[in-house]
Structure 1
Amino acid sequence: MWRYALRRLLQAVPVFFGTTLLIYCMVFALPGDPIQALAGDKPVPESVAQALRARYNLDDPVLVQYAKYLGGLLTGDLGENYTGQKVSEMLGGRWTVTASLAVTAWMFELVIGIALGVWAGLRRGRLADTLVLGGTTLLIAVPVFVLGYTAQLAFGVHWPILPSAGTDEGWPVSYLLPGIVLGSLGLSYVARLTRTSLAENLRADYVRTARAKGLSRVRVVGRHALRNSLIPVVTYLGVDFGSLMGGAIVTEGIFNLPGVGQQVFQSIQLKEGPVVVGAVTLLVLIFLLVNLVVDLLYGLLDPRIRYE
């Protein structure tokens, strides 16, 4: 297992460098002058523009800029924006908000999604199965901004059950409503994956053998069928956690959450490439780490998988 973990870590190194290089080139290849964007409609004196471009290496080729950025990244420095603020300081407090939102949405997907999937899988073709399939189809079809504004008006304004904006109540109260909205799409896929995988495994030979041995229904489903059924679900949940961290821009905007997504959106408008690249670099690291954990969980869920 340790050998496999080390091999996966080594494989993640070129993936990290390749991904960050691609992102860096795409961000800094965008049209427009970020120095001019600082002044808005007012012209920037040429001497000032040249000094700022030299300070932020904007006159260097993109590969040279990336090499300098990488050198700072290896020492923990994410660079500065074009007003001299440290990117790490700008993102520091916002990471807590985004992480709290992503964890809330992920737990909602995990608990409710698997529960609904098991409920539908054990009652395939019945009313419960129809309700789960119909409900999840509806959630997939409704855009997140429509669902967000509807939930905000319904449960935050008309029936003030949960806070509708801001983080004044702290975690988890302030993050419940936006977390449910953000995790609704993932919940639909988790429920469908669990339902389909469980229904297929319940017809497998090893489940019929377990029943023939006289094992209880709870043990057959929980220890045998469900354990193997969770492998594709765990794969999706691992990938989706990275998506939740990076895809919360709309949800953070609707519920006025000062997270990383909101900062990245503002930085794109202001053409602050260092902030965008710094945020995405950290998201890539989180994504790679979560995928490593998911791969290691396979061996715990399915004893047939051997890494040695």
Structure 2
Amino acid sequence: MGRFIARRLLHAIPVLLATTFLIHTLVFVLPGDPIQGLAGDRPVPPAVLAELHDRYHLDDPLLVQYGSYLAGLLSGDFGTTFSGQPVADVLARRWPVTVKLALTAWFFETVLGIALGVWAGLNKGRWADRLVLAGTTVVIAVPVYIVGYLAQLFLGVRLGWFPVSGEEAGWPTAYLLPGLVLASFGLAYVARLTRSSLAENLRADYVRTADAKGLSRRRVVVKHTLRNSLIPVVTFLGVELGSLMAGAIVTEYIFNLPGVGQQVFQSIQLREGPTVVGITTALVMVFVLANLLVDILYGLLDPRIRHA
């Protein structure tokens, strides 16, 4: 198992380097002067402009800029905003909101998605199966911002079940509705994936053998079939946790949650390159770590994977 984990760690290093380089390049290759862009129509004194260009290495070649950023990253420095504030401080202030939102959404995906998938898989071809398939298809087809605004209107404004904006109500109350909206797309995929995997495994030879031995239906499903059926679901949920951390920009904007996604959106508008690069690098690291944990858990669930 140790060699398996070491191999996965070695695979994660080039992925992290490639993604951070791509993000840095896409942000700083944009035309125009970001310092002048921050000032708007007001002229920036040449001495101030030269000082800021030198401090943020804006006149250096792209590879030199990335090398300087990578050297700071290895020492735990995610960069400094154009206003002189460490990006790590911005992350520390915004990160708890995004983590609470992502974990709330992930909980909905895990519990509701697997429950709906098991319900549909055990009733394949019946009305329950058709209901789950139809409902998840509709959810997948509708964009998340439409789902968000409709949820705000009907569940928040008209019915008054949930707060519609901000985090004044605290966790979990303020995060239930945005968490459900954020989870809607992934929840539909978890339900369909669980349903397909369970229905396929219920036709396997080992299930027929267990039934022939006289084992109860519940034991066959819970102890034998469900464990194998959850292997692809665990893979998806692990990757999805990283995606939820990075994909909350629209949801945080709709529900006015002061998280990392909202900060990225504002920084893109202001052309705050160091902030965008630092935050997205942190999100990439979370995503890579989530994938690493999924690989390890996958190896624990299926010994054939770690011994391959």
Alignment TM-score, normalising by the size of structure 1: 0.97
Unmatched tracts of structure 2, length 5 or more: none
8 Å CA contact 2:121–2:195 kept in 1: the answer is yes
- What RMSD over aligned residues (CA atoms) do the two structures have, in Å? 1.2
8 Å CA contact 2:112–2:187 kept in 1: the answer is yes
What SS does the aligned partner of 1:214 have?
coil
The structural deviation recorded for 1:251 is: 0.5
* Matched ranges for 1:1-308 at <5 A: 1-307=1-307
The structural deviation recorded for 1:306 is: 4.0
8 Å CA contact 1:227–1:302 kept in 2: the answer is no
The structural deviation recorded for 1:46 is: 2.0
8 Å CA contact 1:230–1:301 kept in 2: the answer is no
Measured against aligned partners, the alpha-carbon deviations of 1:34-70 in whole angstroms (never above 9, x if no partner) come to: 1101211112222221111011111111111111111
Distance of 1:113 and 1:49 partners within structure 2: 53
Distance of 1:291 and 1:198 partners within structure 2: 23
8 Å CA contact 1:123–1:129 kept in 2: the answer is yes
Distance of 2:83 and 2:304 partners within structure 1: 55
What SS does the aligned partner of 1:30 have?
coil
Distance of 1:305 and 1:45 partners within structure 2: 61
Query: What is the aligned residue count?
Result: 308
8 Å CA contact 1:115–1:191 kept in 2: the answer is yes
Measured against aligned partners, the alpha-carbon deviations of 1:243-301 in whole angstroms (never above 9, x if no partner) come to: 11111111001100001111001111111111111111111111111111111112333
The structural deviation recorded for 1:304 is: 4.4
What SS does the aligned partner of 1:160 have?
coil
Distance of 1:202 and 1:105 partners within structure 2: 29
Distance of 2:306 and 2:21 partners within structure 1: 34
Q: Aligned pair in 2 of structure 1 residues 306, 209: CA closer, same or farther (>3 Å)?
A: farther
Distance of 1:306 and 1:214 partners within structure 2: 33
Percentage of matched positions with identical amino acids: 68
Alignment TM-score, normalising by the size of structure 2: 0.97
Q: Aligned pair in 2 of structure 1 residues 285, 53: CA closer, same or farther (>3 Å)?
A: same
What amino acid maps onto 1:180 in structure 2? L
8 Å CA contact 1:197–1:229 kept in 2: the answer is yes
Higher deviation after alignment, 291-300 or 225-234: 291-300
